[in-house]
Amino acid sequence: STESAEDVIGWARNMMLHSNQTRTSKGRLVIESRCLEKSLVRMKALQMAHEDKMSYIRSLAENEYEKSLLSSIVPAHQIGVRFDDIGALEHVKNILQDLIVLPLKRPELFRKGNLRKACKGVLLFGPPGTGKTLVAKAVATEAGANFISIAPSSITSQYYGEDEQLVKALFALAKKLSPAVIFIDEVDGLLGVRSSTEGESTRRIKNDFMAAWDGLHSNDTEQILVFATTNRPFDLDDAVVRRLPRRILVDLPNAENRVKILRKILVNEDLDNTFSYEYLASQTEGYSGSDLKNLCVAAAYIPIRELLDLECQTKPRRRFSSESIRALCMNDFMLAKAKIGPSISYDAAAMIQLRQWNEQYGEGA
């Protein structure tokens, strides 16, 4: 944060004033503190740009329903995920680059003819933790679109008639924020299959949502895309599936793709020469991208814990700097693997159902 950068500069100055170090190390501190000051100025400018953008977005909300949705909005420049941060899933990224990113970025190229009509809905389906949310965020970033992330609870209300207002507010806000991606995670929760036992309000939300969705006109000033994800596409209402014409399977990674994902997750880590991406990938059959991330986080804690233990044992007690943390070795990952297995939330039967649904309705894998 800005505070801590100021603190660091103050600390560096104090060090210089009070230290009796050599001239060279004093010189280095002068240079480092100048660099820090420059970054501080840059951070302040970025923060101002962000606040301007946020206050502009806040000013777009015209009623209490629209205001209640403001916390669901992430401006394009704040999303922070790009295609390049995602390992593997090349076919998914390629399809979405052509289908979504390009039309949102260059709408003028898609004006003529019927074949190039912008797509209004995409469904990403697959087991949990395979990167569906990550992909949706990257699409919004790459297209420069604002991201409106809707949890079913943010557009359902316990008061009669309010749901309708919230759905209306959602689409009204999206139009003002255009280009925008409306992201609905676990869409089966909101727009699941119609059943005789579903309540009146659930039915109403679904109908209102679909009517508002049908009312979207993709043109230069109104570019809104509904991006939905689900682990259970077979639970979706047919009417919803029809409105999501592009349905893309985001599957569990094979060994080759696990290597690619691990390379992204570990890009900034210090790894020693016992570590092998290929070996770790061969040992993690059934792991999703999210499982791999959890495994790596657990492995990265091991050297830190060792350092803390060492600090406790050293007499008199002393604090080691972060430079004293050793590089990660293969054994850290094997120890972490003993604790973090692949998620079991998705069983074999669901996997078969998913593949059957993909055969019938899906594309892309």
Contact region with ligand ADP (CB under 6 A), list: 30-38, 123-131, 167-175, 333-341: 123-131
Is 194 a binding residue for ligand ADP by CB under 6 A? The answer is no
Asked whether the bond before 152 is cis by omega within 30 degrees of 0, the reply is no
Is 290 a binding residue for ligand ADP by CB under 6 A? The answer is yes
Contact region with ligand ADP (CB under 6 A), list: 42-50, 153-161, 259-267, 315-323: 259-267
Min separation Cβ 136 and ligand ADP, Å: 8
Count of residues binding ligand ADP (CB under 6 A)? Answer: 18
Looking at 148, 177, 240, 261, which residue binds ligand ADP (CB under 6 A)?
261
- Site string (79-98) toward ligand ADP, x via CB under 6 A: -------xxxx---------
Q: Give the phi and the psi of residue 226 in degrees, each rounded to 5.
A: -95, 125
Looking at 121, 179, 289, 362, which residue binds ligand ADP (CB under 6 A)?
289
Considering the complex, state which of residue 87 and residue 192 has its C-beta at the smaller distance from ligand ADP: 87
Considering the complex, state which of residue 21 and residue 345 has its C-beta at the smaller distance from ligand ADP: 345
Min separation Cβ 129 and ligand ADP, Å: 5
Min separation Cβ 342 and ligand ADP, Å: 13
Tokens of 76: 């394009």
Is 130 a binding residue for ligand ADP by CB under 6 A? The answer is yes
Assign 3-class secondary structure to the chain.
Answer: CHHHHHHHHHHHHHHHHHCCCCHHHHHHHHHHHHHHHHHHHHHHHHHHHHHHHHHHHHHHCCCHHHHHCHHHEECHHHCCCCHHHCCCCHHHHHHHHHHHHHHHHCHHHHCCCCCCCCCCEEEEECCCCCCHHHHHHHHHHHHCCEEEEECHHHHCCCCCCHHHHHHHHHHHHHHHCCCEEEEECCHHHHHECCCCCCCHHHHHHHHHHHHHHHCCCCECCECEEEEEEECCHHHECHHHHHHCCEEEECCCCCHHHHHHHHHHHCCCCCECCCCCHHHHHHCCCCCCHHHHHHHHHHHHHHHHHHHHHHHHHCCCCCCCCHHHCCCECHHHHHHHHHHCCCCCCCCHHHHHHHHHHHHHHCECC
Is 132 a binding residue for ligand ADP by CB under 6 A? The answer is yes
Min separation Cβ 251 and ligand ADP, Å: 10
Considering the complex, state which of residue 289 and residue 342 has its C-beta at the smaller distance from ligand ADP: 289
Looking at 141, 178, 202, 229, which residue binds ligand ADP (CB under 6 A)?
229
Is 141 a binding residue for ligand ADP by CB under 6 A? The answer is no
Is 128 a binding residue for ligand ADP by CB under 6 A? The answer is yes
Looking at 105, 175, 194, 264, which residue binds ligand ADP (CB under 6 A)?
264
Considering the complex, state which of residue 89 and residue 216 has its C-beta at the smaller distance from ligand ADP: 89
Considering the complex, state which of residue 174 and residue 295 has its C-beta at the smaller distance from ligand ADP: 295
Question: Which residues form the interface with ligand ADP (CB under 6 A)?
Answer: 86-89, 128-134, 229, 261, 264-265, 289-290, 293
